[in-house]
Every structure is written in structure tokens, then in C-alpha cells.
Structure 1
Amino acid sequence: MRRRPFLVLGGLVPLIIGCTPAADPPAAPVPGVATPGAPGAGDPAYPNDGNGGYDALGYDVSITYDPPSKHLDGDTTLTATATQDLSRFNLDLRGLDVASVEVDGQRAEFTRDGEFELVITPAQTLATGQTFKTRVRYSGQPSSGEEGLGAGGWHPSPSGGAYVVGQPHSAAYWYPVNETPRDKATFRVTARVPEGWSVVSGGIEEGTRTDGGWTTSTWRDDTPAASYLTTVAIDRFTFDRSTLPDGKPLVNAFAPGAEGKREVAARTAEAVEFLASRFGPYPQTAAGGIYTDDRIGYSLETQGRPTYANWADLETVVHELAHQWYGNSVSVRDWSDVCLNECVASYSQWLWAEAKDGENLDDRYRSTIDRTRESTRLWSSKLHEAAAGAEFDGVYDKGILAMHALRRTIGDEPFAAVLREWPSLHKDGNATWREFEQFVSAKAGRSDLGPFFDAWFRGTELPADEHLYPGSLRP
């Protein structure tokens, strides 16, 4: 995610995300005894997000959406594997009415609990290791349901359509899901809309047909995605279609009023090629962008095809494409690890300026430090282990400075090796910031980096000069 730039520093409007109080931890499953899956995935900051007891493998989402009435009918099938003997399990679904639930073709009982828990009791218990399918039929008017920058969910577009973005929440506003980045899965969406409207999502376009006044489009992504990175956008789009040099489809979709972004979008392949030279082969099945004409305060790295606000520029495109490695291919385990995503993607903007514009990053760094020494907001932001709701504070500005200081601390060659090898090591998986610190130390052959990481990533004040001006940054 990249926030809309704000003020001279490139500092950004604070993001405030609410947190649900922790529920009592469930009892550990007993082998051979069917028990309910946990109602949360275990993120300490968001303990009720996601669910336990199963591993999501893939979502097949089918929706019919009528823009004038804003009504959605949904039919989603989740394929999953039980990780314990399950007597019941939860999915996350926010604000939509459920008509029926089936598990492996048999009608299942269901209830709603709290704001977003869909509690499902199958007709028969599910054994550890059993792969099963859960089908949910539902309907209603989807919404975002949250306020502030990063608000997730179903957003109406200025031209009457709609699109889905949000972090950390968005998927559960339009389909039932295990809404945690810990449980990545493949994704397929089939969307039916009135003729004259069109649909775009991530991954590969399987086909589009029009029949009886309705147009149906299917998009498929076989690369596992965290649920907040899945999307669908419905509008009267104009499409530019091409391919990357390796043959992967590149699709840019422009909502009415966003056609002026074609010049920026035309540099997508160039940006992918540049980032691949730094991070390794492009890890997604497709590329491109969804360009809205909405003034939403952020753009988001929806998988393979980021969703852009109307203010998005080339720097934003570079940032969101960097996430295809850092954040999408390698996803956080907990939201407190989000510097893994945002600090690196933000620093990619500096790498681009260095390579494409010949910018001296040491000079830029020193100049920024000089301007921000007295910034309480900047230096008090923790880049790792921040309090719930403050995970994104600082990662877009302090995070850039921290990454450049890290580069000068360990040297260009180890730093370049870290950026390139980390995505390959954790491809399609999850990782933590602490694991990243250990990886950096190993690549640099250093066992003394603890004070540096503590000062920059967990500190709440201006780092001491030894960490603020390492290597060539010394005045």
C-alpha cells in the first residue's frame, strides 16, 4: 500500500486501524476428538481475525452485481484441508445475508457470531488431513464498513461501479474467507454484470461472454494470495492489453476519467523489469493495473494487478509493483511485521530514482535527516512491534531512511544479495521481521547488528550518530 503523499518530507497521513479485544484462547485440540476450530488465527494485535482448524487451498467466488441497485448475489466455494478433527469451523463474512451453507454437498448448520464470524457446523465431523469443500450462498449490499485511511471493503466508484481494496480487511466484505495473511490460497472469481459494464481482477483472464443482457467474466490466479490482495473491480473500463517479455499477460484497466493515466501505466513493464533486476524473477502470473478515478487516500498492491487512486504517479506504480515480491509473494505472518512489506517497497522508490534519475541517495538521506531531526511524529514511530493500529506509522518515510542506513551499515553487495535472495527463500509463503533481521545478519556476516535494528526499527527517538550516519553517510 502507498498512501497519498503529504507535506514536504513525503510523510503521510496517519493510518488508524481498529483492534478487537482478544478472546480467551481456545483449548488445544485433542487427537482423535473433534473440537471447534479457533475463532482467530493468532495475530496478537488482531486476535479475532482469521480462523483456525483448517488450511484454505482455494476460493472459487461467483458474484452477480447490479451497479444501479448496488445489490450483490454471491456463491463461494472454499476448498480447504482440516488441520485438526473439526466439529465446527468459522469463516469471516461482514454485513451480508447468508442463505445456505453446504459442506461436501451436505447441508450444514450455521450461525452468525459478532461482527463477522460465520460459524459452520457440518453434518459430519471433518478428520485431520481431510480436504473438504464449503459452499456459501449469500446476498446484500456490500460496504466498506470502516473509516479512515486503509478502510477496507467494497468501494463505490465515481462513475457508478465498484472496486475492492483494503488493508488489513477487505475480502470478507464480499465473500466468506479465512481473513488472515497467514492462510494464503488460490483465487478465481466469476462476475456477472449488466451488459455495458466490465470486470477486472488479478491473475489471468479466462474469458468473457455476453448473453441475455448480462456480461460474465472470469479471472483466475493460481499463485497463492493473502485474502486482502484479492479484488474485483466493476466499471465501464477501457483496457490496454499486452505482455511482459516472458509472455505473461499485462492488462491495464482504466475507469472513466482515469484514461489520462495511460502514460504512467505504459511504464509498467519497464518497472517490472527494473524490480526483477533487484528482487529476482517476477513472481506473479500476470501484471498490469486497475486505475480508478477515485480520490481514495491510498493505492493497494492487489495481487498481480495493483489498484490505483486517481493521484497515483510513476513512483506509486514502482511502489505497488515492488510489493509483488515484498508483501504478496512473501507475506507477513503478523501485521506487526508490515515493515517487511512497506519499508522495502518504499525504498524501491529510492532505488528507482538512483538508477533512472542518477540521484545521489546519500545526499538525499542527509538532506532528509536535516529536515526531520525535530519531527516527533517521525522518530516516535516504531517500524516493528508497534502497538495495534500503529503498524503503518512511519513505514513510508522513516522506513526508507532505515533501509538506506541498513544498506550503508552492511555494504552494497550484502544488501543487494538480501533484496534478491529473500523473496526466493520465502516464495509464496509467510515470514517475520525477526527472521529478516537474522537473514540480513547472516548475509552480512555480522553478529553485532542487534543495536542497529533496535535503534531504527524498534526505537522511538532519533538514532545515535553511529547508527544514523554509518559508512559513507558519515559527515
Structure 2
Amino acid sequence: MRGQKPVVVVAAVVCSLCLGTGVAVAGDGWGPARPGSDGAGDSYYPQDGNGGYDVADYNLKVTYDPASHQLTGKQDISARATQSLSSFNLDLHGLTVDSVRVDRRDATFTRTGDHELVITPSRSLHRGQPFQVEIDYHGVPEPIQDPLLGPNGWQYAKAGGAFVAGEPKSATTWYPVNDTPLDKATFHLAITVPDEWGVISNGRERGSVKAPGGTTHLWAEETPIVPYMTTIAIDKWTFDRQKRKDGTPIVSAFAPGTPDSAKQAEARLPEILDFLESKFGRYPIDAAGGIFLNEQIGFSLETMSRPLYSAGWAGTVPVIIHENAHQWYGDSVAVEHWKDVCLNECFASYAPWLWDEAKSGVDLNTQYANQVKAAPQRLWDAKLYDMGPGKEFTAVYSKGPLMLHALRNYIGRRAFDFVLKTWPSLHRGGNASMRDFQRYTEFIAHRNLQGFFDAWVYGSGKPADQYLYPGDLKPAP
């Protein structure tokens, strides 16, 4: 705004004076080199991720032997220092680090805690300096066993293959990474496996080449990605390849034993993406598809460009809609903190409602009233914001779509549809919070929505009737 320009000019002058004289303002990152933080500061998982740098690209070369489960990796990381660094951390669960080089010079390293890799370069890094990290490592990957969320990360298929799936963490089980949603980066993978095995990952196929001991498969995700959304899946796949009308490649992989019903549901992916695009704006990712396991893992996951589906219940149109809605809500626009996870799951869970309304003529007001009538007290007692670590993935799937449908009626269909379609574009490639969403919705609706958000999102208990039955909503008979 115009009224802020003098402040900006003064700040710029002060900054230029500091640069010209070599004087640094305390705490601005230009002072003496110091260690980067060993966590990104999330209130639920404070030591996940790290501070002091920003990753631009992960270039990962992996050799994996399904028979022995042995993985050998070389990780090349392109990053930029956001403060002057004497040392910095990466996250790695298990596995053995053999060597580390920073800008082609040997670096010292230590392991602390259950996942911290502390790297001390031979020369300190200055704020703003681009740098490269090369890490050689090996071992047998193991999942992270979370008492509330179950296994996360590298997992083994009964047929001998492997796959990576987990939220809020998974990438640390197979490569060194800055494991926070706040640090997105492009992701390039070259993985060598015995010839009889196939591989699928994020992004676009870059071909395969014969290599000693097998075949090297190349994948590239050029849309910056949050680490837990990266995946690799190794099996004896049947592949299906399509294209969207705009040329976006669609690659889906089906493990042996995948039922025909799942393949038929996935065949509708171009139609599903077209529909979601009509609701949420332009598709924000550079590839699409799906990975259909023959393992029942209890969940499916919105791994970027290529969701991963559990066997049994997951290969259905509603689940495919849900996971692909995440490409807008959760993948392109990621959470700022894990307490904001409703921004991912509430919206993805509402997407099948919108599909049923458009494709089958379902009366959503009646559906809403019936679900409200049948809802147990525990649903109302659950929160949609700051629900506590390990409790993120509960009420967001059931109470979440009810909240959004009530919001649609509270602010009106026109304003709601506009918010739904423009929010992903507004924050594309970035991070956002529930407070951000509230402020944006208030701006579009031209009204204060604190009472609604307090009743539905920030608090617990059944909302008062003015928020439970706004607009055309009425209790079920």
C-alpha cells in the first residue's frame, strides 16, 4: 500500500548501509556463522525439519535389491543458506551415512537423536550462499513406528517389493531430507532394481536404461514437493498410460491382484481431474496417475501427482476423487503447521460431495441434515484445528465436510464457490494456515466469520443452530 512505501525505503537504506559497512543487525542472519536449528518448530513435531537453509532440489540415485532389502543411495542436494551457517542438519531415520561433501569438500558429520544428521562443512556458509551437499549412505530401510499413526515410510510388500507411504513423515526412511512442509523442492530420482521389477514414483517418466545388476528407472517431479509426498513403489506392475486433453501425462500402476473394479475407477481419472479443475481452478501439478498396491495398509495417500492406494477398499471413485482433490488442497497448497491439517483433509473429504451433487443429483442439504442427525457426540467434541499430535487424522474426514457445507450455506453459494476455486491459485506452491483461510473467506464474503469458525473449527461441541442450520439448511425430520 502507498502508506507503507516510506517504511520500505527506510528499511532498504538501512540494509544497504549494513551491507556497505559490513555491519550486521543482531539476529538478521548476517552475523557470525552459527548452527542451523535442529527442527522447523512445528508445535506437534518440533524436531522434524531443520532451519538455516532452503532446499531447491533433491537429486537421488538409489540401488535397491528386493531380495536382501539392501538400499545404497547417493543424495545430491541443491540448497541456499538462509543464515550464516557453521553447521546444519538433515533428517534421516536409520541407515548408515558413509560420507558427506559440501561444495565438493569433505565435511564432518555426526548422528544425534533418532533422525538428526548434523553436518559441519569445512568452510562456513554465508547467508544467501547457494551450496551443494553430496551424501553417500546405505542400509536396510525400516518404517517409523508411530503408536498413534502406525507405520510411516518405507514398507515391504508381501510379494517381495516395497513402497513408501506415510504422513506426517516418511521420506526420512529412505533419503536424507529437510523433513518439513515449509521446505518444498523439486525431486529427481534414478533407481536401479533387478530387471524383473518395475518402479513408479512422482512426476514424469524420464525413461529407463540398462545398468549393472538391473535397470535404472528415471523419474522427475518438477513441481516443488513436500518431502512426505514423495514416494517410490517397486513391484511387478501393470502400467496404464493416458493423457489429459492438455497433454498432461497420466501414468497409473497396478500391482498383481488389483481388481478390475479399481482399474475401471482409475480409468475415469481424466474425467475426475476435469471436474475438480472446474471446482478448484487449473490443475497445479505437472503429471497425474495412481499407484494401486496389493497391500492393505489402512489408508491411501495423496503422494504428489500420483496418489497411492491401499488394496481392498481404496480403489473406488470417491477415494480417487479425495486423493486427487489433495493435489490442490494439501499438495500444491501445503499446511503451514500440522494443526492446520483441516486445510488438506476437510476439503478433500468434501470433494466427493460435490461430485455426487454434480454427477448424480444428490441433494447435499438433505445429506447434510441426515448426517448431522446421526452424528454421535464424539464427532462434535472433536476439533478441526489444533486437535493435538497424533489426532490430526480423525474428525477432519467426517466433521470436515459438514463444516464446509454449513459454510457454503452461511456465506452463500456464489461466495463459497469463488473461495473454493481461487484459494489454491492464491497460495499455489506455498503454505497456508486456517487463520489465512478464515481471513480470505471473510474478505470475499464481506462479513466477519469469527463466530462461525469458533463454533465449527476452533472450538468443540455442537454448533449453535445459527451456525448449524444457516441459509437453506434445516434439521432432518
TM category, shorter = over 0.9
Distance 1:416 1:99, change over 3 A: same
Map residues 66-465 of structure 1 onto 2, 5 A cutoff.
66-147=65-146, 148-149=148-149, 151-260=151-260, 261-310=262-311, 311-312=313-314, 313-372=316-375, 375-447=376-448, 449-465=449-465
User: Which residue of structure 2 aligns with residue 48 of structure 1?
Assistant: 47
Counterpart secondary structure, 1:472: coil
Distance 1:219 1:202, change over 3 A: same
Greater than 6 Å deviation, 4+ residue runs? none
Distance 1:211 1:135, change over 3 A: closer
Q: What is the aligned-residue identity percentage?
A: 51
Letter in 1 for 2:58: Y
Query: Deviation of residue 159 (structure 1)?
Result: 1.6
Query: Deviation of residue 402 (structure 1)?
Result: 0.4
How many Å separate the matches in 1 of 2:102 and 2:193? 28
How many Å separate the matches in 2 of 1:97 and 1:28? 35
Query: Deviation of residue 474 (structure 1)?
Result: 3.0
Query: Deviation of residue 150 (structure 1)?
Result: 5.5
Contact 1:94 1:116 in 2 (8 A): yes
How many Å separate the matches in 1 of 2:251 and 2:388? 38
Deviations 1:331-357 (A, max 9, x none): 001000000000000000100111111
Q: Which runs of 5+ in 1 are unaligned?
A: 1-26
How many Å separate the matches in 2 of 1:110 and 1:395? 41
How many Å separate the matches in 2 of 1:350 and 1:265? 18
Q: Which runs of 5+ in 2 are unaligned?
A: 1-25
By relative contact order (CA 8 Å, sep 6+), the higher-ranking structure is 1
Aligned positions, number:
446
Contact 1:382 1:458 in 2 (8 A): yes
Structure having the larger proportion of residues in helix: 2
Letter in 2 for 1:49: D
Pairwise CA RMSD: 1.2
Query: Deviation of residue 462 (structure 1)?
Result: 0.8
How many Å separate the matches in 1 of 2:151 and 2:211? 35
Deviations 1:204-238 (A, max 9, x none): 10011234440110100111111000111111111
Matched, 1:39 2:38: yes
How many Å separate the matches in 2 of 1:397 and 1:109? 49
Contact 1:241 1:251 in 2 (8 A): yes
Letter in 2 for 1:385: D
How many Å separate the matches in 1 of 2:102 and 2:391? 38
Letter in 1 for 2:56: L
How many Å separate the matches in 1 of 2:361 and 2:339? 34
Distance 1:368 1:116, change over 3 A: same
Counterpart secondary structure, 2:279: helix
Contact 1:159 1:256 in 2 (8 A): no
How many Å separate the matches in 2 of 1:450 and 1:251? 43
Stretch of structure 1 that moved more, 422-431 or 259-268: 259-268
Contact 1:150 1:298 in 2 (8 A): no
Query: Deviation of residue 325 (structure 1)?
Result: 0.3
User: Which residue of structure 2 aligns with residue 467 of structure 1?
Assistant: 467
Counterpart secondary structure, 1:441: helix
Contact 1:81 1:130 in 2 (8 A): yes
Query: Deviation of residue 377 (structure 1)?
Result: 2.1
Query: Deviation of residue 410 (structure 1)?
Result: 0.5
Deviations 1:155-203 (A, max 9, x none): 1112210010100000000000000000011001111000110110010
How many Å separate the matches in 2 of 1:196 and 1:301? 27
Query: Deviation of residue 465 (structure 1)?
Result: 0.8
